[in-house]
Structure 1
Amino acid sequence: MLPVNEAETIIFNLVPPLDSPSNTEIVDLLSARGRILAAPVTSKLDFPHWDNSAMDGYAVRYEDVKNSSRENPVVLEVIGEIPAGYQPKLSLQPGQAARIFTGAVMPEGADTVIMQEVTQRQENRVLIQAAPKAQEFVRKRGSYYQAGDKLLPDGMMINAPEMAILAAAQCNQVSVFRKLKVAIFSTGDELVTPNQPLQPGQIVDSNNYALAALVEQLGAEVLMLGIVPDQPEALRKTIATGIENADIILSSGGVSVGDYDYVEEILAALGGEIHIRAIAMKPGKPLTVARFSLSNYRHPIYFGLPGNPAAALVTFWRFVQPTIRKLSGLTDGWQPVWIRAKVPQELRSDGRRESYIWGKLNLVDGVYEFVLAAGNQVSGNLINLAHTNAFAVLPVGQKMVLAGEEVMVLQV
């Protein structure tokens, strides 16, 4: 069995991000949310587009008002009003001011804005009752971004803030990486779908549904291949279909040592190079990882996950989720997220393998706290997986974490 960290290194090194032109596409802005930029974005616009006011107040010349105070206010002539959305036609001369509103273009001759709270209006005059700083409350053209510079880098996901930036920059189309395709199937003669009557000895296949939901949450397309019986030819055809049509193939079950476990033999026959057969983790020991080289650009990766529901989810979150994120083109943020948290109750392990204990991570008074899920922590118990958002991890050799101590937690 491979140590977990060694297996992680092997898996992540197998995954080059999408980088060829054949893996990119142009999408409209409204279709870009959740996609990953395949090329840096630039704009022809400066931000701000022009010198504008950051306050409601008066546009003035700094030299006119630099010595003003409540005791000795400076009196200026108000020669006009500048609302937002208009190009001012007036030009300030010494001793003059213009009423201006937030976002409005600064008039020629003005270099500073006085906030209205420190002024007093008297018909066509305004009393300035406080000395400003030079260029105060003026947003200078290009001070946020200058046209032609990199606006957004490639390899980042487009979320709400990036959507706003792209819209403001009038980037109506963007180059993004294509969506990954992930094929999913479960193996086992004992499995039935949720709509089938359950006979003695049968098990409802929950893994297909859980894995599909997780894959879709990551923005990839799911190819559901269903339940495959423990028959070599059926398994071969299903795996071959996945290799031909998907970037990642996920199976659950059929990867332990048993009379009907044909997966590794089939992978090798289809040209797969098997890199991992078992990992020293609990749950999740029976994990098979193989890679296929179909062309210079196509290298499908196969993950044979354990059949037990908790083990399937642990191995997905630990290895498959970051793999999908990296392969999707993310430059940063694809790695597993680790947090140190306190535990209010005792945690136990047999110490023989790296143990993953599921529960819920909360932020309490500024301190992360991991609360153990109620019920039995066994890989076949999917009932207490509800609300799981983290796993406390006890390394090999550690059998206990006392209440009040800290533990490393994998956030999912």
Structure 2
Amino acid sequence: MNMLPVAKVEEIVLSLVKPFDPQIDSEIIPLSQALNRILAEDVRSALDFPHWDNSAMDGYAFRYADLEEQFQEQFQEQFQEEFQEQFQERWQLRITADEIPAGMAIAKPLAKGECIRIFTGGMLPIGADTVVMQEDTERIGNILYLQVKPIQGEYVRRKGEFITAGTTLVSAGSKLTPTEIGALASARCQQVKVYRQPRIAVISTGNELVSLDSSAPLHLGQIIDSNLHAISALIAQAGAIAVPFGAVPDDREELETAIKKAIATSDMVISIGGVSVGDYDYIDGLLEKLGAHIHVRSVSIKPGKPLTIASLTNSLSVNGSEERIVYFGIPGNPVSAMMSFWRFIRGAIAKLNGAGETHWQPQFIRASTTEALNSQGRRETYLWGKLTYPKGIPTFQPVSNYSSGNLISAIGVNSLAVMRVNQTYVPVGDEVIVMLI
């Protein structure tokens, strides 16, 4: 199977993933525990927002018709239009003895020509429809003099102006950020129905791998299994639950046992290493033995060319139903492994988890590069670096070392400059497509 273009591989991945069923693969949890979870059903507001007409300013509430009537009377007394501004200072209202702070309601309606002191969030009294802010007034005794003529309805937040009861407040598929949680709390929503978090098995492969918690000294040729922790962290960041199977040596029987168990107990499987063309790269052969359909064996991307994507039918799935499990065999070089996740697996998890389509694909923007970028041009190339916004302008600063085995060079990066096939050079200051990570 030849190398497939990046866009084609993305299309294959998303076509293989079947989103969770909102009825079967969901749970009801307290709103306080719902941060970053995906909503499984629409939540409709039980209340109008605002709940009642209220003031958007500290000032005075009154009936606009009273002021308009007063203006007409004053204006009719004058025969020359140039005196209009002079008589604006004579607009006046009687101030009632009451006042309305936030959280208080006044049952008594305003009488003709009256106004009442009101504070931000205070409920408008019956009859009032306009607020003048205190900075535009002068108070002498119980008389309020208006220095400007307000606009009818000014500084009033009307009942139901933001949303009316029965309207969808947050839609299914939405990721619950602090903003959504605040809105739901305002609507007195104590519990929400969310998709359960996918369980993603992670299998590291290789004789050279040593567990992080091992106290034994490293022998020549051994390395700490950092990939297991990096990929598990990316899984958690994507809103799923990582199920680490630890490091499995390059042994067919042990690998087959681990893969079978992972398939039977997880919603998706990621194995790291063993997908290239070496004598100890057993993953593809074992998947075929287990009846998998291999859709991708390599992708035209740098780094991350060795990539196996397969699907298997699993009758012992997490929820007990027969379903298709998507399997990702990603390369063992640390940055290559993370690249495969960022470009293909993160979107697959989002779709599986019920997130809306806007979360299925990476987000790209254009930025100017602070240094020249180079590529051989034979594969779509991703160069990692830091995206900043000096003076509001997106700016990409590449790292100095692009070895896919150098995880240290990726510390602190937040973006990837994308160089398309046949694009070999981007000069300093030119625009480049940048993928956010």
1:334 and 2:360 matched: yes
Separation (CA, whole Å) in 1 of partners of 2:98 and 2:391: 53
| SS of alignment partner, residue 314 of structure 2 | coil
Contact 1:78 1:126 survives alignment (8 Å)? no
Deviation at 1:398, TM superposition (A): 2.0
Deviation at 1:234, TM superposition (A): 0.6
| SS of alignment partner, residue 22 of structure 1 | coil
Q: For residue 352 of structure 1, what is the aligned residue in structure 2?
A: 378
1:364 and 2:384 matched: no
**Could you tell me which amino acid in structure 2 is paired with residue 80 of structure 1?**
D
Contact 1:20 1:297 survives alignment (8 Å)? no
Deviation at 1:149, TM superposition (A): 1.0
User: Number of aligned pairs?
Assistant: 411
Q: For residue 305 of structure 1, what is the aligned residue in structure 2?
A: 330
Separation (CA, whole Å) in 1 of partners of 2:143 and 2:430: 68
Deviations 1:186-238 (A, max 9, x none): 10111112334111122221110110111111121111100001111110111
- The 5 A counterparts of 1:7-406 are 7-66=9-68, 67=71, 70-194=88-212, 195=214, 196-294=216-314, 298-331=323-356, 332-375=358-401, 377-406=402-431
Deviates more, 1:148-157 or 1:86-95: 86-95
| SS of alignment partner, residue 261 of structure 2 | helix
**Could you tell me which amino acid in structure 2 is paired with residue 44 of structure 1?**
A
Deviation at 1:20, TM superposition (A): 4.0
Deviation at 1:79, TM superposition (A): 4.2
Contact 1:33 1:159 survives alignment (8 Å)? yes
**Could you tell me which amino acid in structure 2 is paired with residue 284 of structure 1?**
G
| SS of alignment partner, residue 365 of structure 1 | helix
Contact 1:288 1:304 survives alignment (8 Å)? yes
- TM-score normalised according to structure 1 size: 0.96
Separation (CA, whole Å) in 2 of partners of 1:135 and 1:388: 50
Which blocks of at least 5 consecutive residues in structure 1 are unaligned?
none
Relative distance call for 1:307 and 1:108 in structure 2 (3 A) is same
Relative distance call for 1:120 and 1:319 in structure 2 (3 A) is same
Separation (CA, whole Å) in 1 of partners of 2:123 and 2:93: 23
Contact 1:74 1:129 survives alignment (8 Å)? no
Separation (CA, whole Å) in 2 of partners of 1:169 and 1:257: 57
Which blocks of at least 5 consecutive residues in structure 2 are unaligned?
75-86, 316-320
Contact 2:5 2:299 survives alignment (8 Å)? yes
Contact 2:198 2:353 survives alignment (8 Å)? yes
| SS of alignment partner, residue 382 of structure 2 | strand
| SS of alignment partner, residue 19 of structure 1 | coil
Deviation at 1:77, TM superposition (A): 4.1
Deviating runs (4+, > 4 A) in structure 1?
A: none
**Could you tell me which amino acid in structure 2 is paired with residue 333 of structure 1?**
H
- % identical aligned pairs: 46
Contact 2:89 2:146 survives alignment (8 Å)? no
Relative distance call for 1:374 and 1:86 in structure 2 (3 A) is same
**Could you tell me which amino acid in structure 2 is paired with residue 90 of structure 1?**
K
| SS of alignment partner, residue 406 of structure 2 | coil
Separation (CA, whole Å) in 2 of partners of 1:166 and 1:407: 39
Contact 1:79 1:97 survives alignment (8 Å)? no
Contact 1:11 1:319 survives alignment (8 Å)? yes
